[in-house]
A and B are shown apart, each in its own frame.
Chain A
Amino acid sequence: MFLAWREIKYSKTRFVLIIGVVVLIAYLVYFLTGLAYGLAQENRMSIDKWDADGIVLADESNLNINMSMFDKEQMEEIEASEKASVGVAPSVVQLENQTSEESKVNITFFGVDKEEFIFPEVIEGEEFNKDKEAIANISLKEEEGFEIGDEVSLAGADLTVEIVGFTDNAKFSVGPVLYINQPTYQQVRASGFGEREEEIISAIVVRSDAEELGDVNIGSDDLELYSISEFISNLPGYTAQVLTFGLMIGFLVLIAAMIIGIFIYVLTLQKSSILGVMKAQGISSAYISRSVIGQTFLLSVMGVFTGLGLTLLTGLLLPAAVPHQYNFIFLLSITALLITVAVAGAFLSVRTVVNIDPLEAID
């Protein structure tokens, strides 16, 4: 580290430029990770909020909850340690006194039963007690200015609901969720289709005490049981999105390793006459190599942590509408990964150091 640090201090401009490149790459990697994670979270947040193990959908629905629909009475046939029914309906809402296009918001209605375990915890206001009352995700307050007591009308239907409370972490398909009771859900779902006699729901969410949902029995051919992880990975676009981001992040990390590796390699080549003199003096290749690797470590640590700082700063400044979120474990593993691959890139130069012939220092 002695040589490594002295050299960085001596050739400040050169190393600041290298660190700058590392900062930019790290920044991009962190930022993309934040976005990818944020977006993934906004797809699945409301499902994670259920804290459930399995979900029962209509057999015909092809794992698409929006297409799943069956009679609530079928719930009685299902055996599980805990179960809850949910009706899901995507919709467009608008504050009642507003008419502009911009004030329309895409949301998803979750029809839930107050007694069942998926009923959300209210962080502001109160729970709904009667029909046509709703608990909304807090983002509707932060981004759209919804307030408790506001009347919200549904697009294309003669129906309004009143916001009585807010909950958090309730997003589905990157949009906010409005929780309503199941009788209201029936009206939402029926709007445009006419009344139905039976009570319709989209899915039954179950908790299980056994491994692989072994203790859950659905008792019907029309229904199918899936694990929550399978359900999440089949959310429309979810897996494609996660894979795309994952690939981009993976490549960026690889590119970071190569760029740092090449920089250090070129620096080592430039220094080869000095290194030759050092080897002639009897300084071992191991010492010089350690110094090269130590230097890379210093550079990558400085670059990566500056990038991390910038990312967190950007996170504070970014509007809430941009889906970004940072997870401590992700940040930690990306940091470790970036530094590790950078140091691995420096091993490219070790061979050069070993191959430098001290004889050339004399001739």
Chain B
Amino acid sequence: MKLIELKEVNKTFQDGRKTIEALKPTNFSVEGGEFVAIIGPSGSGKSTFLTIIGGLQSPTEGEVLIKDQKFSNLDEKERAKKRFNEIGFILQASNLIPFLTVKDQLKLVNKIKKTKLDEQRVENLLSELGINKLMNKYPSDLSGGEKQRAAIARAMYHNPSVILADEPTASLDTDRAFEVVKILARETKKQNKATIMVTHDERLTEQCDAVYVMKDGVLKNKQEE
């Protein structure tokens, strides 16, 4: 099943009198259990692409569907709601809230959904990622790799369909970076998520099921190149 699908999506910006096409019309989809990498130089439109998938900005034309349901055409409030339920973000500098312990980062999801914290699920998820002993630590007490693993836990915890990872290894050394990507690949399969990772480091794409290259707003499957 296609968890996320882009139909003829493009994005243009006005820069003075010039119209810049940041993303040329693109068709793209990711299925459950599929781990996709998007590589490309900076300024190629990778971030634009990711933010459109994540519903942080609307496409100029075309539409984004999540599980065959409208997403990009929803109003901002509805989109935020859907984003909260269906998308897990993992960002460069980690998306952890500095004043919450690892466990509280997850508990926040329950607080917003007004549900009870599922202790068992927290325990399982964190042991799976090898950070269950750090449950009561603040982000500032964690190493870079641990932070990213906690960020993965946060992104996975509310059981979204789609995981969007924006340069998740940017602040890590090579060994740690490989480890984080490996965990991401493993969890994608295990929990049947559609994971899209944006990176500029081609070596990290070994674990991926498909690799796309973004260049000047055009997205191409690497094998076609």
Contact = CB atoms under 8 A, between A and B. Distances in A.
B47 A362 contact: yes
Interface in B80-115: 80-85, 87, 89, 91, 95, 97-100, 104, 107-108, 111-112
A7 B111 CA distance: 15
Interface stretch (A21-29, A278-286, A299-307): A278-286
A254 interface: no
Given A358-B56, A359-B51, A362-B56, A274 B84 contact: no
A182 B57 CA distance: 89
B81 A362 contact: no
B50 A3 contact: no
Interface in A248-279: 274, 277-279
Interface residues of A, number: 22
Interface string B57-95: 100000000000000000001001111110101010001
A280 B95 contact: yes
A279 B87 CA distance: 12
Contacts of A6: 99-100, 104
Contact of B77 (A9, A11, A284): A284
A361 interface: yes
A284 B99 contact: no
- Interface size, B (range): 20 to 34
Contacts, number: 68
A280 B92 CA distance: 13
A357 to B, nearest CB: 8
A10 B83 contact: no
Identify the 7 closest CB pairs spanning chains A and B, nearest first: A282-B84, A282-B83, A10-B99, A2-B111, A7-B99, A277-B95, A282-B80
Given A6-B104, A361-B95, 16 more contacts: A2-B104, A6-B100, A9-B99, A10-B98, A10-B99, A11-B99, A280-B56, A281-B95, A282-B80, A282-B83, A283-B80, A283-B112, A284-B77, A284-B80, A284-B81, A362-B166
